[in-house]
Structure 1
Amino acid sequence: EATPATIGSLTLRDVRRYYRKTFRPDLTTIVVIGKITPRRARAVVDRYFGSWKAHGPRPNTWLPPVPPNRPSTTRVPDAGRIQDQVTLAETLGLTRTNPDYYALQLGNHVLGGGFYATRLYRDLRQERGLVYYVSSNFEINRTRGVYVVSYGCDPRNAARARAIVVRDLKQMQTTPVGAAELHRAKALALREIPLSEASIDDIGAGLLARAVDKLPLDEPTRAARRYLHLSAARIRAAYARWLRPGDLVQVTRGPPPR
């Protein structure tokens, strides 16, 4: 794992050595989008990249799995801010190919990933006015997973907001979401799929991401089917299995204490 000391000791020679070792054609995916035949696309790619050769053994560039983190709290003083920016995060034991990925994502549309329609927005902003914004998301790839909750608030409200985040997380683990919330979460998740491919750049980025994670290229269609058939019980079970509300790491960036 990288540390401030190891990052600070890196030299330009280290960077160049890493570049020569890892920037290579057998670790590269090229996506071509547009009104073009596969034959023409291959010809253009070969023209510009055909002479690019890999040298030496193929390296493994994926970071290894990490153990569950322990809880901690860090404050980063920033005299230029008047409010706190709080990040709560923890490592997860699942990877992108775990079937629970979809249950966690759908549950996040209930808890914090759907903005105005979520429990965290309602509990923290709408009803109590503790935060200016709040969001949550899962960052999960082939070897690692992280859960993140972020919110902005007055410094005096940071602890109260965290307590409500933890409470709502625990509720996701013990009580199945209601039928109306589940229906709304599914509607949001399904509508996000076509919106995620609303431009040529979005289509290309999606294909590239699926190639990197070794997922089927029609993954969005498969995900839609999974979302449609997920139950509230499956969501509750996934949150109980993977989330650890007591192990959240807190990093707060805000004005220095007076």
Structure 2
Amino acid sequence: MTLSSPVSHLDSASNDASIAAPTLLKINQLSVAYGGIKAVKGIDLEVREGELVTLIGANGAGKTTTLKAITGTLPDCRVSGHIDYLGVSLKGRTAFALVQQKLAMVPEGRGVFTRMSIRENLMIGAYTSTDKHQVENDIDYWFSVFPRLKERSSQMAGTLSGGEQQMLAMARALMSHPRLLLLDEPSMGLSPIMVEKIFEVIRNVSAQGVTILLVEQNAKLALEAAHRCYVMESGLITMQGQASEMLNDPRIKAAYLGES
């Protein structure tokens, strides 16, 4: 499957992320505390244009909290440090403003609008667009990528299976033509066949030049798809490097791949 213009924002983007590429997202000394509990403890992280960067770690490591800090969707807590997108601080930015700036997120648990149809969910994803013809073309495109959604286009999203909801959540986010896409545990709770389909789409979206920050429980698939990787443990970044090299690191194999 080859993705075309509906997701591509960089017509001349290289599939190989270059170290000279501009930094889209830069996190410096980010800390998040809920009462007396520090969930994130002063981490640094950056994502350059055209990269697929994965953030792996055990449950409770602080990965989802990091993504929610980026999007400003955390519950009441103390957040310190700096988060810059396109060289500008995200402090105080609303989710609406982030989508307008081409930053989209597929949250853990999918977050579809359960009482709206599949088509309505996709149209919500394109709410910043004023080009109705382009919106319809994009909907048709994602229906071609995910035929199950087309078959159920008028069905309420809340009646879909978990895998179908994940398809819809991804397609909805990509309807906004994001420059940076945040994915939080896209394979969670899905069948092996559905996981394979979701990662096929992730790889192809990345190949079209969409920059991705991926939080994923399946470390092997994440490392195989990514350019670079950060490992998070107990709120700290403990390792980072090229994903292809970390895939063969004995420490990663033992801790996350079930290999000795």
TM-score interval w.r.t. the shorter chain?
under 0.3
The TM-score with structure 1 as length reference comes to 0.27
Bigger Rg, which one: 1
Query: Which one has a larger percent strand, Structure 1 or Structure 2?
Result: 2
Structure having the higher helix fraction is 1
TM-score by length of 2: 0.27
